[in-house]
Amino acid sequence: MVTGDERVLDRRALNRALLARQLLLERSSMTAAGAIGHLVGMQSQAPNPPYIGLWTRLTGFRTADLADLMRSHEAVRLVLMRGTIHLVTADDCVALRPVLGAALRQGLKGTFGRKLDGLDTDKVAEFGRELVEREPLTLGGLGTLLAERWPDRDPFALANAVRNLVPLVQVPPRGLWGESGQAVHTSAEAWLGRPLAEETAPDLVVERYLAAFGPATVKDVQAWSGMTRLADAVKRLRPRLLSFRDEHGRELLDLPDAPRPDADTPAPVRFLPDFDNILLSHADRARILTEEQRMLVFTRNGLIRPTFLVDGFVAGLWRIEQTRDAAVLVVEPFAKLGTAARAALAEEGAALLAFAAAPAAKRDVRFA
């Protein structure tokens, strides 16, 4: 709820606003494509998390709903926000990639600058595009071919130069539920049969971020996108945005018509997949988890573990242990759960198992 000053939003008010926009207060009847668009993509280093993320947000979601989008070139996986793999609609691939181009170029310098020093990376990108449009390639295969032309350079750095400077989409079966395959790439333009957009100003992307993650500070937008120097865009947008403060006095920007539910709005238990963007898209993540919890969820090797929410906040971890004919959902709370929360998690967990481990003859939920 808002505090004594009606324009100050406390932690619970921010939490409920975030849950509403993330389709986690109640499941939405949106299509899979509509939800992916509304969320401005879903982080997708691993193929299966977006399926769980859509299941937990949508009514009646089936794995085929997303797999069919990928097969028909209506959804793609490529490097976007924060230089990480995201699942986005084809339209967002076309629209977002040019806006993020400068940030991805800068990220390349930060990660591989020394290995690429003195090299004309635009020429590398041009040749790399020719190679992947001739035949989809793994990053390893692309690096090997690039090293034939630049033998004194690190193949992995060369491949990543192409990945950051050319919109490389991962071609199915990579990303399809229940199917395996290496990540092979071609250009977005070749895969989608159309060019990228020309607009590079971040204004619309900032507004879409607020619709999915707001209210938020400018630092939050930067943490989600990987972009910097957003002052000009925010200045242009400010006349049509609302301004709030959080409990620490930081300015929060928001869209006038975006949902801001009362802080006492009930929030159902929800299971979130690995790498869910709700945990990654703010500079200050206090609206969804504590710093102590973050250290348990975010591993040292860059993994973001699957979590579950109780009363809207991260309350523990989960995993599915499978054998040939059985599947067990192991729920690991961070603190003791009440009877009602345990019962709700058991019920929602059984539904998760029916979705994620449908072939298993025996399914059970166990609290660790």
Q: Are 194 and 95 in contact (CB under 8 A)?
A: no
Sign of the CA dihedral with 344 first, then 214, 196, and 186 last = negative
Contacts of 110 (CB under 8 A, 6+ apart): none
Distance, in Å, from the CA atom of 325 to the CA atom of 7, rounded to the nearest integer, reads 54
CA 222 from centre of chain: 14
Strands of the sheet containing 313-322, edge to edge, are 270-272, 307-310, 313-322, 326-333, 362-367
**Which pLDDT value is given to residue 57?**
98
Buried b (16+ CB within 10 A) or exposed e, 230-265: beebbeebeeebbebebeeeeebbbbeebebbebeb
* DSSP code of residue 288: T
pLDDT tens by residue, the chain, 368 residues: 444 345 999 999 999 999 999 999 999 999 999 999 999 999 999 999 999 999 999 999 999 999 999 999 999 999 999 999 999 999 999 999 999 999 999 999 999 999 999 999 999 999 999 999 999 999 999 999 999 999 999 999 999 999 999 999 999 999 999 888 899 999 999 999 999 999 999 999 999 999 999 999 999 999 999 999 999 999 999 999 999 999 999 999 999 999 999 999 999 999 999 999 999 999 999 999 999 999 999 998 889 999 999 999 999 999 999 998 999 999 999 999 999 999 999 999 999 999 999 999 999 999 99
